[in-house]
Chains A and B, each alone.
Chain A
Amino acid sequence: AQTVTQSQPEMSVQEAETVTLSCTYDTSESDYYLFWYKQPPSRQMILVIRQEAYKQQNATENRFSVNFQKAAKSFSLKISDSQLGDAAMYFCAYRRRGNNNDMRFGAGTRLTVKP
């Protein structure tokens, strides 16, 4: 079974600073997808960024980037120039390749942004 671990229950960052959220996963598959989702107080899950395991290049989306280390099964999220609106729960998720939409989520990291 695939498992996703987020070892940081809570993180805080000063506005305009950079923060990195950690995620590790366990799988015997070689082809899969990794995601970071954001869940603000409204509870709406919003996709932040995604990474295909077969791509060596790290994904980036504006201020958000990942450090994908396939051999180490590590998938961290870096948020640059943090903004107050970035405050939320962040979930790392895994999905294996194929006709399935069964995503496995980590326990989440609560990010606080201090003004």
Chain B
Amino acid sequence: KAGVTQTPRYLIKTRGQQVTLSCSPISGHRSVSWYQQTPGQGLQFLFEYFSETQRNKGNFPGRFSGRQFSNSRSEMNVSTLELGDSALYLCASTTGGNSQETQYFGPGTRLLVL
């Protein structure tokens, strides 16, 4: 099976712009979780989508949003970008059954906000 894929891999934006990142889970996986990784804050959970519904949400402002499509692919959007949004954004997938499952991570999208 192909692994989790994320596009684009690298992105440069300026403050105030918006950005959309994409994540395609492993075939058959219905849950997609998003994480932000920064040197200062480490790895932080953004949100999880399961069967096109947001199931869990971390402590991030409303500028961070996401959605999931019927084929389980997920997108996350960040509006009105700030310098502090520069980070590696990771997504992970599971079949979504329960927390016993291992999360498989994608290679990440590195976002730089200038």
Contact = CB atoms under 8 A, between A and B. Distances in A.
- The binding surface of chain B is classed by DSSP as strand
A97 B107 CA distance: 26
B100 A102 contact: no
Contacts, number: 66
Interface string A84-115: 00000001000111111111111110000000
Contacts of A98: 98-99
Interface of A: 33, 35, 37, 42-47, 50, 52, 91, 95-108
Given A46-B105, A100-B48, 16 more contacts: A33-B99, A35-B102, A45-B90, A45-B92, A52-B100, A97-B98, A99-B50, A100-B55, A100-B99, A101-B48, A101-B56, A101-B99, A102-B58, A103-B103, A105-B35, A105-B42
Interface of B: 31, 33, 35, 42-45, 48, 50, 55-56, 58, 88, 90, 92, 94, 96, 98-108, 110
